Amino acid sequence: MTETTDTTPGWLSHGELEAARGRMPILYINAVPVRVDESGTVTSVGLLLRVGPDGSISRALVAGRVLYHERVRDALLRHLEKDLGPVALPRIPVSPQPFTVAEYFPTPGVTPFHDPRQHAVSLAYIVPVSGDCQPRQDALDLVWFTPEEAAGPDVQQEMGGGQGALLRQALAHVGRLE
């Protein structure tokens, strides 16, 4: 995570964020980037390759905080551009509806979702993208998987914090989980 200045509206300093994380749930978004065919059927799922704070490498969904005074739609667009690049061309409806709400807890086992830093509530979306996706920021790579590959054990074991379970929920939501 990069430090930001106090002049950036909606951002907390590192210390302020840590204090808030210890006292209240933080609102996040998760986005599952997908490619769809002409009939709207999901044909592939894009997963990021990231390096964790401990140096481990894992597959991940697009994720990030919703800033103070930021619309959820704008947070989705900001994080998709940050992770997939400026020409990913995400298709987000005017009034996006999450396919689920995921609660991440610092204590493992409360839900399938775990974040050792905080209690976070994440609105999860499936977002078709049609442009050229180039990973940016802290993403090392973006790989497109078929829905079957993404739901398979090889990919699922590479996903941490319960994001594999969230991905499987997304695939079930669009009728692509067998």
Check: CB of residue 157 under 8 Å from CB of residue 150: no
> What is the 3-state secondary structure of 109-171?
CCCCCECCCCCEEEEEEEEEECCCCCCCCCEEEEEEECHHHHHCHHHHCCECCCHHHHHHHHH
pLDDT attached to residue 4: 45
Strand partners of residue 46: 144
pLDDT attached to residue 7: 52
Q: What is the DSSP letter of 13?
A: P
Structure tokens, 156: 């699922």
pLDDT attached to residue 177: 87
pLDDT attached to residue 67: 93
Check: CB of residue 95 under 8 Å from CB of residue 106: no
| Local mean pLDDT, 10-residue blocks, the chain (178 residues) | 50 80 88 97 96 87 94 96 95 94 95 93 97 88 97 96 96 92
Structure tokens, 32: 């599952």
- The answer for residues whose C-beta is within 8 angstroms of residue 134's C-beta and 6 or more apart is 84, 85, 87, 142
Nearest to 131 by CA among 78, 84, 82, 61: 84
- The answer, as to whether pTM is greater than 0.95, is no
